[in-house]
Amino acid sequence: MGRCENNIIPIKISHLAEYVSKVKRISLDDALVYIYVNPMYERLYNEEAKWWYLSTEALYEEFERSRVRQNREISKEEFEFYTYCLENYAIRKQISGMRAWVKFKESSADEYVIDNYDLLHTQGLEYVLDDIQRFINRRKR
C-alpha cells in the first residue's frame, strides 16, 4: 500500500469514529471499538478496493451492512458453548475475558468455534482449548 493511502486511512478512521459517535450516540472510544471489530476495517487497507475513497457517510453504511451480515443468528447452545470456550481459554492463558475475546475476534476463532460446534462440543475441554490454540497459531502466520 502506498504512503498516501497509509496517511489517508487514519484520517478516515477519525472522521468515521466521530460520525459513528454522533449517529449512534456513543462515546468516541465506543465508536472506535465499533470500527475495529467490524470486518470492514481490514478491507480499508485493501489497495484494489480503494474503500478509503468513500465519503464518511458511505463508509458508515458499508460498515453497517458488514455488521448486519456478521451478526448471524446462533443457537443458545452454540452461544453457551462459545462463552464456555472463551472463559476457559482466558483462565488457561491467565488473561482477562476481554483480552481472550479480542484474540478470538482477531483470529476468527469465534467463528471457528461456532461453525464447528457440532464437532467440538462432543470433545473434552483440553482437546477443544488445544484445538482453538492451534487455530489461533495458524492464523498468526
DSSP 108-130: THHHHHHHTHHHHTTS-HHHHHH
Do residues 54 and 62 touch, judged by C-beta distance below 8 A?
yes
The pLDDT confidence band at residue 5, using thresholds 50, 70 and 90, is low
Average pLDDT of the residues in 95-114: 90
Q: Decide: 43 and 36 in contact? Cβ < 8 Å.
A: no
* Interval 20-53: pLDDT, tens: 999 999 999 999 999 998 888 888 887 777 887 8
CA 49 to chain CA centroid, Å, is 20
Q: Helix, strand, coil % (nearest 5) of the chain? A: 75, 0, 25
- The alpha carbon of residue 38 and the mean position of all alpha carbons in its chain are separated, in whole angstroms, by 6
Confidence of residue 141 (pLDDT cuts 50, 70, 90): low
Q: What is the mean pLDDT of residues 4-22?
A: 88
pLDDT tens column, 44-53? 887 777 887 8
pLDDT score for 122: 95
- Would you state the pLDDT for residue 21? 96
Whether residue 132 is predicted with pLDDT greater than 80 in this model: the reply is yes
Backbone angles phi, psi at 89, to 5 degrees: -65, -45
This prediction has a pTM of 0.53
Mean of the per-residue pLDDT values of the chain: 88
Tell me how far apart the alpha carbons of residues 39 and 56 are, in angstroms, rounded to a whole number: 17
| Locus of grid cell 489461533 | 136
Tell me the pLDDT band of 71, cut-offs 50, 70 and 90. Answer: low
pLDDT, residue 70, reads: 62
Q: Answer with the residue of higher pLDDT: 27 or 7.
A: 27
